[in-house]
Structure 1
Amino acid sequence: MTVANLPIDDESAALYTIGQVADMLDVQVAFLRRLDEQGVVVPGRSAAGQRRYSRREIDRVVEALELIEEGVTLAGVRHVLALRGRIAELEADLDRLQTGRHAAKGRSVGG
């Protein structure tokens, strides 16, 4: 294993316990459990079934906290985050299409 391939470098690696995340974000463990129950975040699970959070899931918790501070309900938070995810997917699709179009245009001009 090289240093470049460590799990800690993978933002989707579920490495952090619920207690660690609660301490990092200064929130209650019960709040994190509620976010999981409501489908706002989906932490991984250890072999023993304990929640394990990735950096990506921690970022979602932070986003949820920001939305809640603005007065959005948990159901609203779930919808907002789902919409943000869909927007990111569509933007990535658009970027791929534009890159492909530019590449095809370059081949036809130079070809």
Structure 2
Amino acid sequence: MTAENPTGPLGGHLDDDDFPAYTMGRAAEMLGTTQGFLRAIGEARLITPLRSAGGHRRYSRYQLRVAARARELVDQGTPIESACRIVILEDQLEEAQRINAEYRRAAEATDR
């Protein structure tokens, strides 16, 4: 088995944060929450789980991190809809800051 052509049950997805590896039950267990919470943040469009061939929700590690952040806010008393909006805005801000940093690096490179 090589890194270029991984084989096995996960097909080389062990390092893929976006691979939908976790069932709803396992995801809820890992987050210490209920399946209803996962459904609620899905309905609020914070995360959109992929579906297995049988139609079951499957979550990635990235989605679990997002859900964990929403749970932190809910645990602090923030309504779930507001928590989801905050997490979305935090994500958008992080992306904007990343893009801004790239523009700055490009501008500095052209100034030299």
Equivalent position SS for 2:14:
helix
The residue that corresponds to 2:60 in the other structure is 54
Q: Which structure dedicates a bigger proportion of its chain to helix?
A: 1
Query: Is the 1:40–1:77 contact (alpha carbons within 8 Å) kept by the matching residues of 2?
Result: no
* Structure-1 separation of matches of 2:71 and 2:96: 25
Displacement, 1:64? 0.7
TM-score, normalization by structure 2? 0.84
The residue that corresponds to 2:35 in the other structure is 29
* Structure-1 separation of matches of 2:36 and 2:110: 53
Q: Please say if 1:20 is aligned against 2:26.
A: yes
**Paired positions, count:** 106
Q: Please say if 1:2 is aligned against 2:2.
A: yes
Query: Is the 2:41–2:84 contact (alpha carbons within 8 Å) kept by the matching residues of 1?
Result: no
Any stretches of 5+ residues in structure 2 without a counterpart?
7-11
Partner residue of 1:100 out of 81, 84, 106: 106
Query: Is the 1:15–1:53 contact (alpha carbons within 8 Å) kept by the matching residues of 2?
Result: yes
Question: Which of structure 1's runs of 4+ aligned residues deviate more than 6 A?
Answer: none
Displacement, 1:94? 0.6
Percent of counterpart pairs with the same letter? 29
Displacement, 1:40? 2.3
Any stretches of 5+ residues in structure 1 without a counterpart?
107-111
Displacement, 1:2? 3.3
* Structure-1 separation of matches of 2:41 and 2:93: 22
Cα 1:23–1:3 shift into 2, 3 Å: farther
TM-score, normalization by structure 1? 0.85
Equivalent position SS for 1:62:
helix
The residue that corresponds to 1:74 in the other structure is 80
